Amino acid sequence: MRIYRDPIYLDKDALTPIANSFGIEVDTSIEVDTRDLTNKKGGFDAGATIPGTSIGLKGNLGGGTESEISQKRTVTAHPGAALNNLIEKLQEDKSLIYLSDEQAITKSALIEIESDWKLSPVTDQGRILNLFIEQILQDPNNIPKEIPAKLIQDALKPRPADENQKLIFIRTNESDDDMTVIALLDSEWLVGNNTEDDLEEDRTFFGIVEAFKPKGKVYSLEKHFTRGLNRALRRKLDLKQLCNSAELSEEDLKFHGPLVVIKVIAVYP
């Protein structure tokens, strides 16, 4: 029995090159041109099937002269279908990692994790930091010593629909021995009217391993929240001061191993 995964989050930009490498097209438009001639009785029966689909075209036209009819149809492969085909292919090839297995976790491996998830508090703090950095980028020569109160107030308001926010999710561990899993997402890829709240609790996260840290090693979200800053400006800024201004400490951005960090491609129930 084939299971259809209906994504509530789908990063099409991340999905497309991976699916293409397996010969799976995403959002590929297929233009079909069918031509038929009228029959001897003056009637016309057109019948065609669009390649790669089960869609049939039929029609009957009257007329007393012979003529050629040309019809064009465009079919688009939905990214949700491409996602399902990709996961089925990965399962067939046994190249999909599951944390419950004894498989080694390596960087850039594709992984599927079904678990309970929760939105990390660092998400909202990171949003304040991102907004502050955007303000600095508008005028790098005028770096304020602290985040303006109005900017913090604006950040605490509901996020505008056109604003992308970095979302950090943490897997809810059942025991202290469970490996920590950090999931990195972007709100712009939420499907339909779904929000970050819809990603919590029991969900399956499918993505690519961005980092794996064994016990004793540390992973920091610093670069994740300061993307867009060039090296010169990064050196000029005091990260500790930035974090303190956002009521965030450098330690809040650090997670200790053993842990795996995944860049999420899709989320589905």
Q: Give the 3-state secondary structure of residue 88.
A: helix
d(CA 65, CA 38): 8
Overall number of domains in the chain: 2
Q: Are residues 191 and 72 in the same domain?
A: no
Tell me whether the omega of the peptide bond preceding residue 258 falls within 30 degrees of 0, making it cis.
yes
Q: Is 16 exposed, middle or buried (0-12, 13-18, 19+ CB in 10 A)?
A: middle
Report the sign of the C-alpha dihedral through residues 196, 202, 203, 208, in that order.
positive
Q: Are residues 128 and 260 in the same domain?
A: yes
pLDDT at residue 52 in the model: 43
Q: Are residues 127 and 241 in the same domain?
A: yes
Q: Which domain holds residue 67?
A: 21-86
Is 206 inside a domain boundary? yes
Q: Are residues 37 and 148 in the same domain?
A: no
Q: Are residues 205 and 153 in the same domain?
A: yes
Give me the tens of pLDDT residue by residue for the chain, a chain 269 residues long. 578 899 999 999 999 999 998 888 886 555 555 555 555 555 544 444 444 444 444 444 455 555 555 556 555 557 888 999 999 999 998 889 998 766 788 899 999 999 999 999 888 877 777 777 777 777 766 666 666 677 767 766 777 777 788 999 999 987 777 889 999 999 999 999 999 999 998 999 999 999 999 989 999 887 787 776 666 666 666 666 666 665 667 777 889 889 999 999 999 99
Q: Are residues 66 and 119 in the same domain?
A: no
Q: Are residues 43 and 144 in the same domain?
A: no
Q: Are residues 80 and 113 in the same domain?
A: no
- Residue for token digits 């419950």? 100
Q: What is the pTM of this model?
A: 0.73
Domain end among 86, 103, 126: 86
Q: Are residues 128 and 257 in the same domain?
A: yes
Q: Are residues 212 and 184 in the same domain?
A: yes
Q: Are residues 99 and 138 in the same domain?
A: yes
Q: Are residues 171 and 65 in the same domain?
A: no
Is 16 inside a domain boundary? no
